[in-house]
Chain A
């Protein structure tokens, strides 16, 4: 169904990071918000993505934010880096989705919900590290990878799942000994994303706990946030609810705290 070669081909055809993006990230990293905004403005698609994302209701801005400098100014360095990373991941998303019932809008909405949820969690945990803030952006890449690899195999997957309770990640691993998160890692490396981001997203798969205590704990929060978000009707109807397995026992010890932060009732 899916072979190692197919995965390698997929990773190979991922284009290198555009120069403008690389420069924007570099400047953000140096704390140069104004210069970063100037460079970002050169990329029309990036500017338009930033405007669309931060003006989603979940970001909660009263007035429409139009200008990139204004966006970076309001968000600050960490969150600006986070939205630029979100844009990078969105570059991988297909023009039209067929395995999952998603479109450009609903995918951006998912990115926004995860990002805002992650902010809430990090502020509760008093964490400001900008790499950790950005780590959430890599998580939706697993959805894009699933779409790309399984889009022609929808029927097969449905039939397979009618006889065995098996998620896409497990199918992929059993066929190729590589899972969705390993592929995300390859993408992140290709784009020189920070190691912290990679380690955190691997832990958030729920099946690969990290040996680093903080990474592991944050991985649990991210795993739970993913399923909290994927339990919303829009994403259930998109077919995302069970694309990977929810590992309850991994997150049980932080659930009460999570429920209070996210106001689950």
Chain B
């Protein structure tokens, strides 16, 4: 079974009846590991379409959860259940659960470090006092505004004014939370979330390949969200100093936000500052300051360390990249593609109006980036397949575009795998207009293929 991954949350959706036998057939440890590898920092099994489960059925999942949690430090659990199912799970595990329970996927997303849409007003109630506190702390740490009801009566009273809250949480239980270095993209900055004690383990939990490739695809600002860091030791200090020096070669900036030096020697801060790392108290000090963002490189990524050119391997694999892209868009829109022209040069977009773009990087045996420039109509048609209707909602169209590019990336990965070329893909980036794309792509040489889908012009660009 394959998980759907959104906002860093990977969710499996079994259907029907779960017992010891069926659960093991539905989900394997390999399925979960593949999801973790795709940058999910939470793994959940949705019980929305499960009408019956017994203890053995859940145990099969729980055993896999425990194994993955121990290895990968991620949040694991169940979501999408009703009160009856919640009661049944509690009876099976009697508050001894190491996994988490989220009443809906929306609630789970609030706790995911990769979730970009923060500052939600959340009304919460749990019978268990320590759970109430734990939930409130996690919500607060993730940038939300929790409002705690101390009793069910108070909860019901507060609920009368339901419109005041973005999300209401009940029947939710937090097991062990994750400690993996989670990654999210805000605009053109990449935010890594680190927590508790930073020691030599950071070398294992931080995905250095992902970071290097983000540098390659043009990201220039990296922010470590360090509000939850208690202290840092000398091994972590060395790690971050090295990271800063290597990033400096790309003219990139690394910042720490919310780091307290109560339990970390203040001399560490000086060492880190010497290696080029900047410190800020609040995330908004950076993200809301447009001038500073520009200065730090988050709105312009033109200065590339080395102008890299296409190599033979990429040119050999080019037809695979184009096939993957064309067949994905054909699949999503039911339109036939026609190749117009292909050339090796800097990217050239004739008519910039009414177009949006997306890019996805890949790294491994070969590395590079695919840029796709879409007429809005094609993006809208793809939306229709994924969400069931055409929409004018810009954000939704861009989200769908990101998903479409994710599919292209997944397909490229599979096709290259068939040729024994192993690559991983980054998170997709979307560009609301062509000017913002050009900030990153200007001057890059690559292969440009112009295609038409039902008379809509579409551009494919492969570069390094």
The one of B3, B16, B18, B327 in contact with A230, judged by C-beta atoms closer than 8 angstroms, is B16
User: Does B49 reach chain A (CB closer than 8 Å)?
Assistant: yes
Instruction: Report whether B410 and A162 are in contact in the complex, using a CB–CB cutoff of 8 Å.
Output: yes
What number of A residues sit within 8 Å (CB to CB) of B? 39
User: Does A241 reach chain B (CB closer than 8 Å)?
Assistant: yes
Which of A52-60, A116-124, A131-139, A169-177 is found at the contact surface with chain B? A169-177
User: Does B331 reach chain A (CB closer than 8 Å)?
Assistant: yes
User: Does B68 reach chain A (CB closer than 8 Å)?
Assistant: no
User: Does B134 reach chain A (CB closer than 8 Å)?
Assistant: no
User: Does B113 reach chain A (CB closer than 8 Å)?
Assistant: no
Chain A nearest CB, measured from B325 CB (Å)? 12
What number of B residues sit within 8 Å (CB to CB) of A? 41
Select from chain B the residue with minimum beta-carbon distance to A259: B52
Chain A nearest CB, measured from B156 CB (Å)? 25
Residues 223 to 242 of chain A near chain B (Cβ within 8 Å): 224, 227-228, 230-233, 236-237, 241-242
Note all chain B residues with C-beta closer than 8 A to A159. Answer: 328, 407, 410-411, 414
Chain A nearest CB, measured from B337 CB (Å)? 13
Note all chain A residues with C-beta closer than 8 A to B25. Answer: 233, 236-237
Instruction: Give per-residue flags for B20-39: 1 if the beta carbon is below 8 A from chain A beta carbons, else 0.
Output: 01101110000000000000
Chain A nearest CB, measured from B330 CB (Å)? 7
Scoring A165, A174, A252 by chain B CB atoms within 10 A of each residue's CB, the highest score goes to A165
Select from chain A the residue with minimum beta-carbon distance to B51: A248
Instruction: Report whether A162 and B48 are in contact in the complex, using a CB–CB cutoff of 8 Å.
Output: no
Instruction: Report whether A236 and B4 are in contact in the complex, using a CB–CB cutoff of 8 Å.
Output: no
Instruction: Report whether A231 and B16 are in contact in the complex, using a CB–CB cutoff of 8 Å.
Output: yes
User: Does A195 reach chain B (CB closer than 8 Å)?
Assistant: no
Residues 139 to 185 of chain A near chain B (Cβ within 8 Å): 153, 155-156, 158-166, 170-171, 174-175
Instruction: Report whether A162 and B17 are in contact in the complex, using a CB–CB cutoff of 8 Å.
Output: no
Residues 351 to 406 of chain B near chain A (Cβ within 8 Å): 384-388, 403-404, 406
User: Does A265 reach chain B (CB closer than 8 Å)?
Assistant: yes
Note all chain A residues with C-beta closer than 8 A to B54. Answer: 265
User: Does A255 reach chain B (CB closer than 8 Å)?
Assistant: yes
Scoring B4, B6, B54 by chain A CB atoms within 10 A of each residue's CB, the highest score goes to B4
Note all chain A residues with C-beta closer than 8 A to B148. Answer: none
Please judge, given known A-B contacts A236-B22, A246-B49, whether A160 and B331 are in contact too, CB under 8 Å. yes
User: Does B271 reach chain A (CB closer than 8 Å)?
Assistant: no
Instruction: Give per-residue flags for A1-28: 1 if the beta carbon is below 8 A from chain B beta carbons, else 0.
Output: 1110000000000000000000000000
Select from chain A the residue with minimum beta-carbon distance to B386: A164
Select from chain A the residue with minimum beta-carbon distance to B414: A155
Chain B nearest CB, measured from A179 CB (Å)? 13
Instruction: Report whether A233 and B4 are in contact in the complex, using a CB–CB cutoff of 8 Å.
Output: no
Chain B nearest CB, measured from A178 CB (Å)? 13
Scoring B384, B385, B387, B411 by chain A CB atoms within 10 A of each residue's CB, the highest score goes to B385
Please judge, given known A-B contacts A174-B388, A227-B51, A231-B16, whether A158 and B2 are in contact too, CB under 8 Å. yes
Instruction: Report whether A166 and B386 are in contact in the complex, using a CB–CB cutoff of 8 Å.
Output: yes
Instruction: Report whether A1 and B331 are in contact in the complex, using a CB–CB cutoff of 8 Å.
Output: yes
Select from chain B the residue with minimum beta-carbon distance to A153: B331
Chain A nearest CB, measured from B120 CB (Å)? 22
User: Does B14 reach chain A (CB closer than 8 Å)?
Assistant: yes
The one of A153, A231, A245, A248 in contact with B18, judged by C-beta atoms closer than 8 angstroms, is A231
Note all chain B residues with C-beta closer than 8 A to A227. Answer: 15-17, 51
Note all chain A residues with C-beta closer than 8 A to B16. Answer: 227-228, 230-231, 241, 246
The one of B3, B48, B411 in contact with A155, judged by C-beta atoms closer than 8 angstroms, is B411
Note all chain B residues with C-beta closer than 8 A to A255. Answer: 51
Cα of A265 to Cα of B54 in the assembled complex, Å: 8
Cα of A225 to Cα of B22 in the assembled complex, Å: 16
Instruction: Report whether B385 and A175 are in contact in the complex, using a CB–CB cutoff of 8 Å.
Output: yes
Chain A nearest CB, measured from B28 CB (Å)? 10
Note all chain A residues with C-beta closer than 8 A to B22. Answer: 231-233, 236
User: Does B334 reach chain A (CB closer than 8 Å)?
Assistant: yes
Residues 181 to 221 of chain B near chain A (Cβ within 8 Å): none
User: Does B13 reach chain A (CB closer than 8 Å)?
Assistant: yes
User: Does B5 reach chain A (CB closer than 8 Å)?
Assistant: yes
Instruction: Report whether A156 and B14 are in contact in the complex, using a CB–CB cutoff of 8 Å.
Output: no
Cα of A2 to Cα of B331 in the assembled complex, Å: 8
Please judge, given known A-B contacts A162-B5, A171-B385, whether A156 and B49 are in contact too, CB under 8 Å. no
Cα of A241 to Cα of B414 in the assembled complex, Å: 24
Chain B nearest CB, measured from A114 CB (Å)? 14
User: Does A125 reach chain B (CB closer than 8 Å)?
Assistant: no
Chain A nearest CB, measured from B362 CB (Å)? 15
Cα of A72 to Cα of B330 in the assembled complex, Å: 50
Chain A nearest CB, measured from B281 CB (Å)? 37
User: Does A65 reach chain B (CB closer than 8 Å)?
Assistant: no
Note all chain A residues with C-beta closer than 8 A to B387. Answer: 164
Cα of A163 to Cα of B40 in the assembled complex, Å: 12
Note all chain B residues with C-beta closer than 8 A to A170. Answer: 388
Chain B nearest CB, measured from A207 CB (Å)? 12
Note all chain A residues with C-beta closer than 8 A to B2. Answer: 158, 161-162
Chain A nearest CB, measured from B100 CB (Å)? 20
User: Does A264 reach chain B (CB closer than 8 Å)?
Assistant: yes
The one of A164, A175, A251, A259 in contact with B334, judged by C-beta atoms closer than 8 angstroms, is A175
Instruction: Report whether B407 and A246 are in contact in the complex, using a CB–CB cutoff of 8 Å.
Output: no
Please judge, given known A-B contacts A1-B331, A171-B385, whether A264 and B3 are in contact too, CB under 8 Å. no
Instruction: Report whether B14 and A241 are in contact in the complex, using a CB–CB cutoff of 8 Å.
Output: yes
Cα of A252 to Cα of B407 in the assembled complex, Å: 35
Cα of A170 to Cα of B25 in the assembled complex, Å: 24
Please judge, given known A-B contacts A153-B331, A227-B17, A255-B51, whether A163 and B24 are in contact too, CB under 8 Å. no
Cα of A158 to Cα of B21 in the assembled complex, Å: 24
Note all chain B residues with C-beta closer than 8 A to A156. Answer: 327-328, 331
Instruction: Report whether A174 and B384 are in contact in the complex, using a CB–CB cutoff of 8 Å.
Output: yes
Could you write out 22 A-B pairs with CB less than 8 Å apart? A1-B331, A156-B328, A159-B414, A160-B331, A160-B332, A161-B2, A161-B4, A163-B5, A163-B6, A164-B387, A165-B13, A170-B388, A174-B384, A174-B388, A227-B16, A230-B15, A230-B16, A231-B17, A232-B22, A241-B14, A252-B51, A255-B51
6 A-B pairs with least C-beta separation: A231-B16, A231-B17, A233-B25, A227-B16, A236-B25, A163-B403
Interface residues of A (CB under 8 A from B): 1-3, 153, 155-156, 158-166, 170-171, 174-175, 224, 227-228, 230-233, 236-237, 241-242, 245-246, 248, 251-252, 255, 259, 264-265
